[in-house]
Structure 1
């Protein structure tokens, strides 16, 4: 029977991502034994699972990394920069092997040998022999049954030495670490507790019995106590073995458990009559804590037996992203149908039908919100990926750069996050190469040798703001204008504000680098950023102070599927403007137009606001009303008005993609279907403004 390896590869990719994060933190804290143990366990899991699922190459390669970190756990070798470099390279090699197994490019076998030789050389007394050739019989690798056996229940008897406090160890912290491994029940045993007047507060008089249900395996439990093995009595026993909890087996009685556990002998037990627990405690033969522990063990085994009869429900379910996207599409269709139902109910004036429509609207709104929340992911997982990027680029360019983050818990639509990776990579690479100076240059101007790149995220209404800030040299607007003129991208007599000059860096082929490097300088990258953010219906804003640094802000919608919009009408055509960008609506009379002498601006409470006539832009025929409406919106940090015939009101917009057969596809981010079946186009405000500016500069119809 063919084994489905998709579960292993998915878990392995997650473990490799966590491994990279742990290694980067360990590099800053090489004495952190918890991190060393985490790296070891990740490698152990990958090795064991890999061998079990037939990924022998992964298991064999990972074995050497696991061995080195086992030595580091024992304190036999220190965690050095060389070890971190080799382990990161090993992490990349494991991923390459997995990619190859999934149909990707072949992994570099010579690179794997170099990594293994380097790791073996770190072990004292190791001759660093080369890996065995592929045609030789490989050294057998023990597959970890723990990683595949699912959840098991263990009884952990933990009796610390009375003087354990003197070594700075807190037993409760060890128990808390156990609790993190799975589901726990803890019983304190106070047999040895002396009278209050005789208690020594500097000694530990309590022991514990912990019943732990976990999928981590016995080795993970032992790792918790690895540093106090000589300062405690520790007994770990699995109590839910198949022969103990078979469907036909009888649950062990309390007395049998107490005898098996060594708490009482069988001869004494036989002299006691029921109720057993109370009689034993009253007779002083067994403490109440031990009876409670035995009862809990009995209950745990009962629960395990019930679990064998009825399959345990998982706390979470992995769902392929395409199924989730299909669900969102269906919810979108439901929202459209619900709008049609509302309109039909109101047009017929049927009270009962209106009540049904309102109930359907409520349920649809709840379903929509829940479905959208399923697709929301914390952006912190994306932020963590860039620690490695900053580390490697800093090393390549000879710079000292620290990456800091904030707002990692901010949630964003999964599809937005997926498409956000490349733009952020381009921005961070440019910040490191062009922005942050070399240590010598920074110290020469009074800055610390190490530069900082800061990533942050925060919610702003229906949007998320992502900022990438560096404390580097900043942008010189004069230099940007000069470069744009040289390349013919800007007329020599054109005057730009500093903010407008900063936007020049997003032009195709625009670069201020003095020389081309492996990192940047070819004029590609930032134009990709603009295109990517535009495709996400977002905007990019740049702010910079010469000599102090640059901040780039990406403004992105929370979701790409459903948005709140403002429905407007021009003649018999309907359009939707993103409501999050709308500030207010004002009237535009023929007198207002005449007073500006052909200039498309309006005075709004003392502020001059330019506007674009959408009727002219979209070449819509028919007479305009005497009083038109201007929808004033914020576009890329500036106020801009959009003239329409009528403002209808707020509309929940389900976004449908457009085909390539439309005349102005660049100016629309999609379309939606209204309640009466009419199609309304969703306007991309940023693109309309940009095309209008190009039209004004070139004198051509954009």
Structure 2
């Protein structure tokens, strides 16, 4: 009977490894001699190959083996890391992803592309003979220990006459340093006085503590030509399979094990042990220092293993289950609000106590559930390093991407929908913003253009900025292009800020010709629609000749927000509490003083307002005293007239049905405790539509 194997665990792990692999390769391009990065790439390939073979992904295993073989050579130092190798490995990474996508119902992977990559990798081999020669060379190199990095203690005691053979011990120590993290302690207790010193004799020996992925044989190979001229002792101090909670050896145990003192001498010493032993003359200060170094190295290795174990303790949960949990918590919040209403109406003390306790527990459950959905935006930022690298090559420009705030957390739903808008913004900055190297040189700018991507929390929102040091936006050019394309009336008067926002119009582009990167006028329109669908806003700041900064303001979460519940007639609306600044009253006297204009005087400041009743043509008479909710909308203070202000409300956002697909002024709905539906208002769009309507009524462009 055939047994079906669940391959989802492998594919999810493989996608994560491919993402990490891309980051490591881009770092390696900047530091091509970093042995740790080379080993990291090798380990990622090795894991993908081994797991792929285990789960029946033979095509993945066979293809990845070719890349692994080449990086084994790079790890052993027989093949340098070049741009050609990085290019081919990045292409191989994309090919592996295509194979995985095909296994999940995507288009079939291009086998011709795979063959080209393999041929390119084999051509990089330092010997002729293709893959066979590559494998032979790799087999001859010292193999990394499959179990991971270990700590070795190497005691190297050269004979006094070792200099006569032309050997320099320092070169041997440097060779050990190339194998991993290395700490060296010189033992100089046999060093004679200056009068007795013979410069042709060696009086020093060394204790080396080496953390490496290579085995004992590789360490001994370093000393293969001087093994007759020295005493060499190599001892393995740690293994990953040892108990992680095992206590590190005490200083006395280490000295005893090394043969530096005997038990009788140890028994005579009192704490602090190191100082006592040195003062007692039973061991040199250098040897105590070497033992302390050994103790510290082993402890550090244990700590690293503990951290790795903590990472491995992460539980993988499908996003569908997480979404279901959030929906259930949302329903619980709604029921809890209903319980509060009932307990308040019945005025039962015992029921009110239970309702308060359930409210507290529901709040904690809501906050914990929402925190589970929060992810660091750094993983999204890292994807754009590859984008900048590839576009700089395609467009013949030199660019550098820097990031800040990678640990800023956002709701997973927001992050998932943020990738495409950021891709379009960065592509636009590269194509339209950053100048060619020769142009930058002529105007006195550095040849390498800078694109800075940052994220920072701002209250209940996150600000994401894409900043470049390119040529900036030309407001006059934008106006002229908009008129040419019929998007703007010739007599329209726009501020520079309004002109900058034209780049987000459908079909708008300043490119003279269509390329693979831009020119069709759809990219920035996608940005605007995507950000608005996330209930976010966009701000553009630019200075001609110096650069452009595009700021996206996004809510932390799309599932549950704090809102202000207001009433108009018998209907209810919710305003995002993060935008609300204050509430004021509008009396008949205030209305009379405004002479028919929709404005309210707030402590000497004139604030325009929109009556929600009039905006949506709702029935009923206005109350004698209206309530005006003052909110910050795109940096401006705007009021919203309502009948009553109910108060703060935890809003569980529900999507509106197809009947409301064209009602952009509503961004969702929520269910109140009594089952009533309240609509969540999109304040920015409401203000925009009212302004457009007033412009048309006054005959403006």
What TM-score does the superposition give when structure 2 sets the normalisation length? 0.79
User: Could you say what secondary structure the match of 1:661 adopts?
Assistant: helix
Give the equivalent residue in structure 2 for 1:222: 214
Do the aligned residues in 2 keep the contact of 1:427 with 1:468 (CA within 8 Å)? Answer: yes
1:161 lines up with 2:156 in the alignment: yes
The DSSP-based 3-state class of the residue aligned with 2:419 is helix
Residue 472 of structure 2 aligns to a residue whose secondary structure is: coil
**Structure 1 residue corresponding to 2:648, chosen from 647, 650, 657:** 650
In structure 1, what is the Cα distance between the partners aligned to 2:204 and 2:636? Answer: 68
**Residue of structure 2 in register with 1:125 after alignment:** 127
- Pairing 1:100–2:97 present: no
Matched, 1:509 2:501: no
Q: Which residue of 2 aligns with 1:621?
A: 619
1:433 and 2:428 matched? no
Q: Does 1:8 align with 2:10?
A: yes
Gaps of 5+ in 2: 159-167, 194-202, 224-231, 244-252, 260-281, 283-289, 299-309
> Is 1:467–2:465 an aligned residue pair?
yes
CA distance in 1, matches of 2:121, 2:240: 39
Alignment partner, residue 481 of structure 1: 479
The answer to which of 104-113 and 626-635 deviates more is 626-635
Q: Does 1:350 find its partner at 2:348? A: yes
Instruction: Report how far residue 432 of structure 1 moved.
Output: 0.5
CA distance in 2, matches of 1:487, 1:224: 72
Change in CA separation of 1:125 and 1:171 when aligned onto 2, cut-off 3 Å: closer
The root-mean-square deviation of aligned C-alpha atoms, in Å, is 4.4
Specify which of 25, 31, 34 is matched with residue 33 of structure 2.
31
Shift of the alpha carbon at 1:172?
13
Q: Does 1:78 align with 2:73?
A: no
Question: 1:588 offset after TM fit, Å?
Answer: 2.3
Distance (Å, rounded) in 2 between the aligned partners of 1:571 and 1:96:
57
**1:521: which partner in 2?**
519
Q: Deviations for 1:361-386, whole angstroms, at most 9, x for unmatched residues?
A: 11111111111111110000000000
Aligned to 1:660: 658
CA–CA separation in structure 1 for the residues paired with 2:535 and 2:85: 44
Q: How far does residue 651 in structure 1 lie from its aligned partner after superposition?
A: 1.0
2:382 paired with 1:384:
yes
Give the Cα separation in 1 of the matches to 2:169 and 2:382: 37
Bigger shift: 357-366 or 161-170?
Answer: 161-170
Contact conserved, 1:630 with 1:644, CA < 8 A, in 2? yes
Distance 1:86 1:675, change over 3 A: same
Match of 1:255 in 2: none
User: How far 1:203 sits from its partner (Å)?
Assistant: 7.0
Q: 1:608-636 deviations in whole A, cap 9, x for unaligned?
A: 33222211111111111122122222222
2:267 is aligned to none
- The aligned runs of 1:301-340 (5 Å cut-off) are 315-340=313-338
Q: Deviations over 1:301-321 (max 9, x none)?
A: xxxxxxxxxxx9972210000
2:550 aligns to what SS in structure 1? strand
CA shift digits 1:357-414 (9 cap, x unpaired): 1111111111111111111100000000000001111111111111000000000011
Change (3 A) 1:398 1:153: closer
How far, CA to CA, are the matches of 1:227 and 1:10 in structure 2? 37
Partner Cα distance (2:653, 2:117) in 1: 49
Equivalent residue for 1:405, pick from 381, 384, 403: 403
Tell me: CA distance 1:338–1:96, structure 2 relative to 1, closer, same or farther (3 Å). same
Q: Equivalences for 1:280-299 in 2 at 5 Å?
A: none
> Within 2, Cα distance between the matches of 1:547 and 1:313?
46
The 1:602–1:500 alpha-carbon spacing in structure 2 relative to 1, beyond 3 Å, is: farther
Quote the Cα distance in structure 2 between the aligned partners of 1:398 and 1:42. 31
The CA distance in 2 between the partners of 1:434 and 1:209, in whole Å, is 51
- Does 2:672 align with 1:677? no
Which shows bigger deviation, 423-432 or 52-61?
Answer: 52-61
Q: Taking structure 1 as the reference length, what is the TM-score of the superposition?
A: 0.78
SS in 2 for 1:666: coil
User: What is the aligned partner in structure 2 of residue 183 from structure 1?
Assistant: none
Cα displacement string for residues 524-544 of structure 1 (whole angstroms, at most 9, x for unaligned residues): 011111111111111111111
1:61 aligns with 2:72: no
Cα deviation code 1:65-88 (max 9, x no counterpart): 112212212222221111111111
Which consecutive residues of structure 1, in runs of 5 or more, have no partner in the other structure? 132-137, 179-187, 211-219, 246-257, 265-283, 298-311
